[in-house]
Chains A and B, each alone.
Chain A
Amino acid sequence: MIDFQLHLPNSLEDAFALLEQYGDDARLLSGGTALILQMKQRFAQPGHVIGLRRLPGLGDIGETADGGVRIGALCSQRRVETSPLVAGRLPLVAQAYRQVATPRIRSMATVGGGLAHGDPNQDPPPALIALGAAAILSSAPDGNGNNGGQRILPVEELFLDYFDTDVRPGEIITGLVIPPAPAGSGAAYLKFLPRTADDYATVSAAAVITRDADGHCREARLVLGSVGLTPIRATAAEDLLRGQPLTDATIRAAAATVPAAVDPLEDHRGSVDYKREMAQVFARRAIEQAAGSAAG
């Protein structure tokens, strides 16, 4: 690892000042499970590392006024997985975080760090996007009439490219807000893990399906992971489901649009064609499971 200077600010204001001072030469560190690996491999060579663990007030999980959940950026992924509030309100979120790597990594890795990492192979983003979650990005006053404060960015818009996010210079992800699941909805997150239990997904699929009283699909959200440079929302499949009866035929027709919507990279987990096909299979299963658990 190339040497660097480590800063451990005690307040968000101090962290903003360090970001301002060191600019592109600084990287933020929370759990370290991503950044330290990148630094060991010299993919990242920052001159300054700003450790966030002493920042107060960013480690809590609470409910929002509308019945959703707010999670502080420094909350460990393990805490999200084991939170009774999350399990009760948004079991899909607990389930997705539970699929990340191993219990040790989940004890270290944070919610904010995971989002900032921008790795398209992570488990939580497809589930968070399917639920309409948003990241809270905080920044300092800039002296030009911007008092600083918060930018609320849908997680769907956070990921711009491979390991690239819309976290702008001077911003720090300070939290995650997840709205309540729609009434009558069912949800599923499926991770295809043919190799080892702690691997990244070969493909993954998150679905949130809302049913009408007559069994028709009122709303559908389908998001695929590990099959592109970012998580991919399968809008063509959603359009085919919306307003339709949730039959085997409509679900299969919707899933059949998935191979054209994804853009996987070939690696040791499979070829491009294989991942396209598996994306279709797991999309269908996720829709089936979500539709099956939707109350209507």
Chain B
Amino acid sequence: MTPAIEVEQMHKRYGALRVLAGIDLKVEPGEFFALLGPNGAGKTTLINIIAGLTRATSGRARVMGHDVVSHYREARRMLGVVPQELVFDPFFTVHETLVIQSGYYGLKNNGVWIEEIIHHLDLADKADTNMRALSGGMKRRVLVAQALVHKPPVIVLDEPTAGVDVELRQGLWRFIKQLNREGHTIVLTTHYLEEAEALCSRVAMMKQGNVVALDSVRNLISSVSGCSVRLRLSPDTLPPALQPLMSSREEGCYILTLAEYSQLEQVMAALRTAALQVLEMQVLQPDLEEVFIRIMGTHKIRKPGTLSV
């Protein structure tokens, strides 16, 4: 089957600055895929190259098998992009904006579908409002609507929920999930890892222009062995033997990071020896956020005693 998105040996430099350092990536049709990584990792640059907004220094990208440079018309018809910035054309109303956007894709009688997107994104009572008069959240919805006017099989959302309230976020994801069920391939970037964990089947983690992890969410989480333990003690002192395991303190609790579950035994023994009373104890399973933090090598968490990946 033709991949929805295929990126081969993608390099991008701005002068001396290397933004992408040879990305290889494949997203299969029907996937719900997340691109994760800290600011400046190259996520948006990668998306922009796929969308044709940026020219790669070298390498190829294809959308549904169409090269984004040599066959850009076909590639762009297959792709709907929700840009990260809240952009709009202040001259037009919501409805005009969508009709014009359809026209750019060569669609003339697109009224029924436009009404449907307007309805799904709760824009019906704003349809004849000028773009300038909309709130930030409403503008975000219009951006999503614009990306969908030509019913693209592949939809890319670049941080669609940044600065968006809870209600809209949930509504948006409900709609996007529905589109995914109907067969659209979804690629998103987000800084909310719980969103990626809940929605996506597969994620790529990017760091300094490289893909440093690429796997299903389940595999990534199970790749992290060990766990964290949250302890509240009385008296509130951690035995010296356990000091090397401590990763942080929060709200009167100690957080210990264990490389393996068997280390729990050792922790219990140390607590018994010190004759401390355990007021509260929680074993925390690793989640995508923890995987992310370990892979990105954030030093705050990685302390002696932590399993390094």
- Do A and B make up one complex? no
A residues near B (Cβ < 8 Å) are: none
B residues near A (Cβ < 8 Å) are: none
